[in-house]
């Protein structure tokens, strides 16, 4: 729940509230955020067949909304791809840890 709420704040904060950072930092934030969503979802017991498609959908919808809402943010396909990569890695880490 905390990861989900954090994602809403991070993804939908207006541009004026986003701190300045070196180029590429936003991609790291997207990756870590979606890795956290996937890993906490996996730990919470959400079925993979629902969790990963839901996160892919959330990545796409959040990017579109960032471009459409009056937040001063933009819709970037690269961010969506990084979101999906983060979700896959977060899921894989928990899956591998459970096998050990």
pLDDT tens by residue, 51-67: 999 999 999 999 999 99
Q: Among 1-5, 38-42, 56-60, which stretch is predicted with the lowest mean pLDDT? A: 1-5
Q: Which of 17, 11, 35 is nearest to 94 (CA)?
A: 35
**Is the pLDDT score of 17 beyond 90?**
no
* Helices and strands (H and E) in the chain: how many: 4, 0
Residues 6+ away with beta carbon under 8 Å from 48 = 42, 91
State yes or no: pLDDT of 1 exceeds 90: no
pLDDT digits (tens, 9 = 90+) for 84-98: 999 999 999 999 999
Question: What is the per-residue pLDDT for 21?
Answer: 85
Please tell me whether the overall predicted TM-score, pTM, comes out greater than 0.85 for this model.
yes
């Amino acid at each position: 729940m905390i990861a989900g709420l954090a994602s809403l704040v991070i993804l939908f904060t207006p541009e004026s509230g986003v701190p300045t950072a070196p180029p590429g930092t936003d991609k790291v934030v997207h990756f870590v955020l979606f890795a956290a969503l996937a890993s906490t979802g996996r730990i919470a017991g959400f079925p993979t067949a629902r969790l990963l498609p839901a996160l892919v959908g959330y990545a796409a919808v959040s990017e579109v909304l960032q471009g459409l809402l009056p937040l001063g943010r933009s819709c970037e396909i690269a961010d969506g791809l990084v979101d999906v990569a983060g979700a896959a890695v977060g899921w894989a880490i928990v899956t591998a840890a459970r096998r050990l």
